[in-house]
Chains A and B, each alone.
Chain A
Amino acid sequence: MSRADQILKEIKTLSSTTPDVEAAAVIDNDGLMIASALGADMDDDAVAAMGAALLGLGERSASELTRGDFEMVMIRGGDGYLMLVRSGHDSVLCVLTSRNAKLGLIFLDVSRAAKEVGRLLG
């Protein structure tokens, strides 16, 4: 199995085994999609660019506003959450959840998945 397939399998597992995780993707620092398990109605290129830019902005904000080491960008909308976490030096894990997601459980699973993606990307 190729590295891309392994990463895709990892994020599909996250989506299928963690309650309320609806979609996930792995993006590189330049805003290019590495692996996508997003819905067919989502534009991979647009999600990748938004995700990488938001993560960059989040890291800068945490630093400039003296909030310590960056951990996560989280956005809450009326229909759910968007989470962005680092999955290695050069990549970002993007996760979409439903509105009623149990965040504690999801944080744990997202953190584990991010570490695994980082390991696969070397």
Chain B
Amino acid sequence: MNSMQSDTLRPQLGDFNSIICFKAAVVGVEEALGERAARVALISAGRKRGVALVESLGLTGQGADLQVAAAQLGAALGVDGTRLCNVERIVQEGENIRVIVSDTVCMAGEPQGSTRECSFTLGAVHGALEALTGRKLRGKHVESRWRGDADDVFEFTSRV
């Protein structure tokens, strides 16, 4: 096997691993700690990842042009990026921000009707939006293709 380029994090296997292992880690943590504690840990980890991503792109506090944000996050997280999820679009509805995503790592392999909600992916988008906009937000996975909705949607509202 040829070794990878020197800018990868792993010299031989490269920077991507199977989604099967990621999901096994999520489900294993849920079984060990319970869904609630696991959800908090994964959202928190995701938020840190989102903040770090925006920092690495040099976009911290760059404002709330949501079309630009969608393009930048889409590029960083999508097929040409880390492949966490596709960011389809971001729309403002009043005070709320709705992020339409697809192919999230959290929902991969879930059966139709699954009640699972995104945790790490939701957290990553959450952290990225907070870093971009400077707003303190609360996020929720409000619509899911696995529960009959047309899209997977994360909705962000201002905190209390």
- List A residues at the B interface (Cβ < 8 Å): 2-4, 7, 28-35, 45, 49, 52-57, 59-60, 121
Whether A60 lies near B34 (C-beta < 8 A) is yes
Q: Report whether A31 and B160 are in contact in the complex, using a CB–CB cutoff of 8 Å.
A: no
Could you tell me which B residues sit within 8 Å of A by CB distance?
A: 33-41, 43-44, 47, 138-139, 159-160
Name which of B35, B44, B138, B160 has the most chain A CB atoms within 10 A of its CB.
B160
When the two chains form their complex, are residues B41 and A49 in contact, meaning their CB atoms are under 8 A apart?
Answer: yes
Contact, CB under 8 Å: A49 / B160: no
Q: Which residues of B contact A4 (CB under 8 A)?
A: 159-160
Q: Are B34 and A57 in contact (CB under 8 A)?
A: yes
Give the shortest distance, in Å, between A66 (CB) and chain B (any CB): 15
Report Cα–Cα, A20/B5, bound state, in Å. Answer: 58
Q: At the interface, is chain B mostly helix, strand, loop or mixed?
A: helix
Task: Write the nearest CB–CB distance from A37 to chain B, whole angstroms.
Answer: 15
Residues of B within 8 A of A35 (CB): 160
Say whether A31 contacts B40, CB under 8 Å. yes
Which of chain A's residues have a CB closer than 8 A to the CB of B41? 49, 53
Q: Decide yes or no: A53 and B33 within 8 Å by CB, A30-B138, A32-B138 being known contacts.
A: yes
Q: Are B33 and A31 neighbours in the complex by a CB distance under 8 Å?
A: no
A31 CA to B34 CA, complexed, in Å = 15
Q: Are A52 and B160 in contact, CB atoms less than 8 angstroms apart?
A: no
**In the bound complex, CA of A59 to CA of B33 (Å):** 10
Q: Among the listed B34, B35, B38, B40, which residue makes an inter-chain contact with A49, where contact means beta carbons less than 8 Å apart?
A: B40
Give 13 CB contacts A-B under 8 Å. A2-B160, A29-B36, A30-B43, A31-B43, A52-B40, A53-B33, A55-B36, A56-B40, A57-B37, A59-B34, A59-B36, A60-B34, A121-B160
Question: Which of A7, A28, A49, A55 sits near B44, CB closer than 8 Å?
Answer: A49
Report how far A92 CA is from B34 CA in the complex, Å: 17
Contact of B36 among A2, A3, A60 (CB under 8 A): A60
User: When the two chains form the complex, which single residue of A29, A30, A33, A56 contacts B33, counting CB atoms closer than 8 Å?
Assistant: A56
B40 lies within 8 A of A30 (CB): yes
